[in-house]
Chains A and B, each alone.
Chain A
Amino acid sequence: NAGVTQTPKFQVLKTGQSMTLQCAQDMNHNSMYWYRQDPGMGLRLIYYSASEGTTDKGEVPNGYNVSRLNKREFSLRLESAAPSQTSVYFCASEFGGAEETQYFGPGTRLLVL
């Protein structure tokens, strides 16, 4: 039981390049989330998927797109990376419903030059 997994662990991009961050969970959770964490800013929600087939914007969605591929997988895409997107990205999942606990993946460190 791996919990929440993320790939890659670390990535360097040049401005304007695109990439997709992958997230998968094996806990049969319904809801999945993408956060970014920056020094002094805390965790900020980018996008979330309350259930398979649905996605919604969070606090900071600009510059990102998401796909809920199936119940297990939720990907985050940067179409044209910018230095402001340098951050640590965390995927999280929860069973869903009434204010459940969220479980986090190990994170992806992204550096945009």
Chain B
Amino acid sequence: QKEVEQNSGPLSVPEGAIASLNCTYSDRGSQSFFWYRQYSGKSPELIMFIYSNGDKEDGRFTAQLNKASQYVSLLIRDSQPSDSATYLCAVWNSNYKLTFGKGTLLTVNP
């Protein structure tokens, strides 16, 4: 069973702070990693994807990947109340299945 693990939270940060969301995966052969945001009662929407080790930045969001440690993270700078949502980590496994973590609930307090 290919596992994707996330801390369920809730993770609570003050407005303007950096939120750090973490994800580990079990399949060492995984090559593609995605972060989705899901507001309550809505469907998941893609925030970022990352394929290579290191950092990838898009606006206030930075994805970090360390394949040796089987670890992927999402940093949200200058967190806003509108960032309050559940963040899903998803990993394409070596058997070509996309596996989702259970998500981390982020709350940004004004």
Contacts and interface: CB of A to CB of B under 8 A. Distances in A.
Interface of A: 33, 40-43, 45, 58, 90, 99, 101-107
Contacts of B42: 106-107
A42 B44 contact: no
Range, interface on chain B: 20 to 34
Given A42-B101, A43-B100, A101 B49 contact: yes
A41 B40 CA distance: 15
B55 interface: no
Nearest to B32: A99
Contacts, number: 37
Interface of chain A, helix or strand or loop or mixed?
Answer: loop
Given A43-B88, A99-B32, A104 B43 contact: yes
Nearest to B100: A43
B100 A42 contact: yes
B92 interface: yes
Closest 8 CB pairs of A and B: A42-B102, A99-B32, A99-B92, A104-B43, A43-B100, A104-B44, A42-B100, A107-B43
